[in-house]
Amino acid sequence: MAASQVTLGNTLRAERRPRDAEPPLDLAVVIDTLPILADLLRCDVTLFHLDGPTPVGIATTRPQTVPSVRSGPGGSRWDDPSIEPAILNVFDTGRSARRLTRQLVQGTPTVQDVFPVSRDGRVVAALACEMGVIEHERQRRRSPIYRRALESFRVAALEGRVHGATRLSRLGEHDGPFLVDAQGQIIYISSVAESIYRKLGYGRSMLHQPVMGLTTDESGFQHAIDRRECMEYQSVEGTFHLHRWAIPVPSPAGPGFLRRFRVAARDLEGVILIVRDETEERFRTQELLIKSALIQEIHHRVKNNLQTVAALLRLQARRSESTEVHDILRQTINRILSIAVVHEFLAHDQSDAIDVKDVCQRLVTEVSQSQFDPDKSIRFRVDGSDFRLPAQQATSCALIVNELLQNSVKHAFVGRNHGTVTLLLDASDERCRIVVVDDGCGVGPGFETRHGGSLLGLHIVRTLVREDLRGELALEGRPGQGLRATITFAQHPGGRTNDV
């Protein structure tokens, strides 16, 4: 063994597994326990098997109770080739090994422990655990009783004797573990757990107290004892919301640890109970739900008020004898309703981002139902990708699309009784593009495409694109060949492209 490695124990001397063999199927049981192992042991864990002469990681998990020593999107990365001799030595000897790395990870050396995973007298895999030297020293100073319990749990996990681990959610940095022996006495309690129980009204230390006095903890303890499986549950004590875990610690199959705490005819050393105070989190979540409901109600009322204003203007338009006033009021009504559509979506969607394609579909329906000339048959089509925008951008887009649709309906099909208006949507690379194209008469005399047109509607479009969206407007068309309006702008934070 290299000088940087020291043998930790004689867990098992086993024959070496053939280098070209596939990992056994029952390693899936070990893989299922890696998340809880990483969180309890407070280290990065990786399971290796041999692929020819080379150790290959088949599963890896970073802890959530402490910062990982290995950065990267995929979790822990064992890219240090110097660990290979330690892993191969474990496969050869069946004995665990420890090494202090010389390679600095986030400015500090790390401690790597490698343990054999054996089946039927053969080493079939190796578990590598890595933590920073500071965390290693912190763990070394913890209660010997708790450290031995974690060692027993680790041994049982590698032997495939931990059940129910897949049902457990991940632990967190502020969770409080404590250890109860098989007789129901608390033999270790962390400072975090002590603090939580003090808030619950337990004045004295819980160490050496029976767990039977803690009603919700007793039920979790009893479940773990009776069923020999991990359990996770939630409880309410007064105004406190608690999240709890009960993790049985199986006794070693052979001569084991914590022997003095063993009870005859029992195969458990005890139970690790973990408590998390979720009261503040629940309170914040409830506050957010209330605020979200209030905001949705406000959007609902704004939508109703806008529709009321539109109804009053519609009534006024019907009474007007002036065609010019009638047209102006009708355009104003459509503008108001386009804003109301956005508020309607915000009233029914808890997200602050709005699906622009859904809004455009609604606008097309509104415009088609209010066509100026009922004798004309104008078809509308909405195509392209879905994407979501924040409320402010979505409102501007709704107004812009409404103006362009109305412009096409009113001006594109003069002298014709049919036509098609197509609305195309596209979003990529954080840039959004909205295109409204018709097959109408195209650009007429005196129309200024360069400056956005001389019509009021296109003037509104140009202003919204420049001032609100900070985007660009391009108008293309020729007489008899229709008009194409393209709006391009950047997607603000809060919006996103939908996967379809």
Together in a domain, 425 and 479: yes
Query: What pLDDT does 223 receive?
Result: 86
**243 & 346 share domain:** no
Q: What is the pLDDT of residues 124-166, one digit of tens each?
A: 999 999 998 888 899 898 999 999 999 999 999 999 999 999 9
| Domain count within the chain | 4
| Tens digit of each residue's pLDDT (9 = 90 or more) over 38-86 | 999 999 999 998 888 888 888 999 999 998 887 654 434 455 566 788 8
**Claim to verify: residue 60 and residue 187 sit in the same structural domain:** no
**Domain identity same for 330 and 459:** no
Verify that 327 and 266 share a domain, yes or no. no
* pLDDT over threshold 50, residue 479: yes
**Exposed / middle / buried, residue 442 (Cβ in 10 Å: 0-12, 13-18, 19+):** middle
> Nearest 5°: CA angle at 334, between 299 and 353?
35
Q: Which residue, 96, 113, 141, sits at the end of a domain?
A: 141
CATH number at residue 245: 3.30.450.20
Shared-domain flag, residues 334 and 362:
no
Helix, strand or coil for residue 403?
helix
Q: Give tens-digit pLDDT for 362-419.
A: 899 888 877 656 677 888 999 998 899 998 899 999 999 988 998 888 888 877 888 8
Sign of CA dihedral 456, 458, 464, 467: negative
404 and 500 both lie in a single domain? yes
- Same domain (yes/no): 345, 461: no
Residues 202 and 103 both lie in one domain: no
Q: Measured in whole angstroms, how far is the alpha carbon of residue 264 from the centre of its chain?
A: 46
SS3 14: coil
pLDDT tens digits, 306-339 = 989 989 998 988 888 888 888 888 888 888 988 8
**CATH for 96:** 3.30.450
% residues pLDDT > 70 (the chain): 83
Give the pLDDT of residue 43. Answer: 93
**Pair 207, 189: CB distance under 8 Å:** yes
**What per-residue confidence (pLDDT) applies to 8?**
29
Tokens matching residue 407: 């412009």
Same domain? 169 vs 251 = yes
Q: What is the mean predicted confidence (pLDDT) over 284-293?
A: 85
pLDDT, mean over the chain: 82
Judge whether 268 and 256 are in contact, CB under 8 Å: no
Question: Angle at Cα 80 formed by Cα 74 and Cα 86, nearest 5°?
Answer: 115
* CATH classification of the domain holding 387: 3.30.565.10
Averaged pLDDT for residues 340-367: 86
Instruction: Give me the phi and psi of 326, to 5 degrees please.
Output: -60, -45
- Expressed as residue numbers, the domain containing 325 is 281-350
456 three-class SS: helix
**What is the widest separation between alpha-carbon atoms in the chain?**
102
- Say yes or no: 393 and 411 in one domain: yes
pLDDT of residue 12: 31
The domain boundary, picked from 228, 255, 277, lies at 277
Give kind and range of the element (H or E) at residue 242. strand 240-250
pLDDT band with cut points at 50, 70 and 90 for residue 455: low
What confidence tens digit (pLDDT) does each residue in 169-202 have?
999 999 999 999 988 999 999 999 999 988 888 8
Hey, what amino acid is at 61? T
Higher pLDDT, 256 or 135: 135
**pTM for this predicted structure:** 0.63
Q: What pLDDT is recorded for position 272?
A: 95
On whether both 401 and 326 belong to a single domain, the answer is no
Is the CB of residue 356 less than 8 Å from the CB of residue 394?
Answer: yes
Among 262, 277, 292, the domain-final residue is: 277
